[in-house]
Amino acid sequence: MSEQFDFGVRVGMVIMCVASAASALAVGGLLLYIAYSAVTLRRNALRRWSTDTHIHYYFLNMMISHLILSIGELLNIKWIVEAMLYPSTVCTVQGFLLQVGNVGVGLSTMAVAVHVLQVLVLQWTPPPKFALPVLAIIWLVILLLVVVPPIVVQHNIYGSSGYWCFVDGSIMTQVGLVYIWLWVSGVVNTISYLLLALVITRLVLVDGHRFRWRRKQDRGIIPYEVDTTAESVRAIQMLSYPILYTVQVLPQSVARFSQFSGHDVPFAATAFTSTLFASCGLFNVILYAFTRPRLMPGRPSHAPQSVRVATPRVAHSRFPQGYTVEDDNSATETGPVQVP
């Protein structure tokens, strides 16, 4: 049984729970809206949630994972009330939920990044139903991470991690079952969206299947105009998601690295980084509201306005043609991708 939590620790954990509750309410509200939109609104309504693109599947999966993570974090209420942490059914459930939520958020975010990259840069657009096998792989990985380790070690893998319950055991166990997936996701997100930004700004040109930096002689080439693309505009907005994810994961990762290295990490640092990460669901919903503002049904629609983007003749266009942009930044598709 753990030592009694002092007043300062309990206050810090209360702040973490408030952040988790805000995330749970925001994500739960968004999921309820999506369910209402998908079931109640007319099939061709402008604001009806659809699964016409991969992004919708991945975004929905990311929100569900955020909700699971927030529920797991809210179980800290038990340890706050009792002022101590000890092995129990609640402890096991909390460790399970935190593992599933963490890995689910990381892999779903990475799926969004890779999909936007392959469509806008590599110009490869598989059918929307292709997202289902990807989601199946994500949940298969989660299932293996949850089921296989207890069978191998033949005991419960969830226990005390200091102030809440998480994957118990060695440093390598925690890294292999949780943290490696967060870090890989952060690295892939950063690489994908950095490359996307370079291509959109024409600092990097895609010539066939090769990438190359734009040279001085490329500046003199007469550009031609292509109907792009709501998607390139929306992709730039989507840069905010991996940036936000990295900003919230990085401090917690630094604290964990310090702890793994044998350094004594103050509880104030642990509380701050954990509160920041617990707010991830809330910040993603706020970001969604700004990048996809047409949430509430009933607002009259306006005529779409075209966006014209100049691309150099020297490289093939890497962006789907035939998109228009509405004045609220929502895309009207005649091409294959829509970003939520």
Question: In this predicted structure, which of 2-16, 130-144, 319-333 has the lowest mean pLDDT?
Answer: 319-333
Tell me the pLDDT band of 332, cut-offs 50, 70 and 90.
Answer: very low
Q: What pLDDT score was predicted for residue 98?
A: 94
Asked whether 76 and 17 are in contact (CB, 8 A), the reply is yes
Residue 339 has pLDDT above 90, yes or no: no
The model's pLDDT over 225-270, given as tens digits with 9 standing for 90+, comes to 333 445 455 555 666 777 788 788 888 888 887 877 777 888 888 8
Domain spans in the chain, listed from the N-terminal domain onward? 7-332
With residue 244 as reference, give the H or E element that holds it.
Answer: helix 240-260
Task: Please state, in angstroms and as integers, the Cα–Cα distance from residue 295 to each residue in 45, 62, 330, 338, following that order.
Answer: 12, 18, 11, 16
Residues whose CB is less than 8 angstroms from the CB of residue 25 and which lie 6 or more positions away in sequence, other chains included? none
Residues whose CB is less than 8 angstroms from the CB of residue 110 and which lie 6 or more positions away in sequence, other chains included? 184, 185, 188, 189
Backbone phi, psi, residue 221, to 5°: -75, 135
The two structure tokens encoding residue 213: 């930096």
The model's pLDDT over 152-202, given as tens digits with 9 standing for 90+, comes to 887 888 988 888 999 886 777 888 888 888 888 888 888 887 777 777 777
Please tell me the pTM assigned to this model. Answer: 0.77
CA-based nearest residue to 164, from 225, 277, 87: 87
Beta-strand (E) ranges in the chain?
158-160, 165-167, 204-207, 210-213, 223-227, 308-312, 324-325, 331-332
The model's pLDDT over 90-126, given as tens digits with 9 standing for 90+, comes to 999 999 999 999 999 999 988 888 887 777 777 677 7
The CATH code for residues 7-332 is: 1.20.1070.10
Q: ∠ CA 163-168-171 to the nearest 5 degrees? A: 100
Cα–Cα distance, 137 to 167 (Å, whole number): 22
Tell me the pLDDT band of 35, cut-offs 50, 70 and 90.
Answer: confident
Coil vs helix vs strand at 219? helix
Tell me the pLDDT band of 321, cut-offs 50, 70 and 90.
Answer: very low
Coil vs helix vs strand at 165? strand
Coil vs helix vs strand at 87? coil
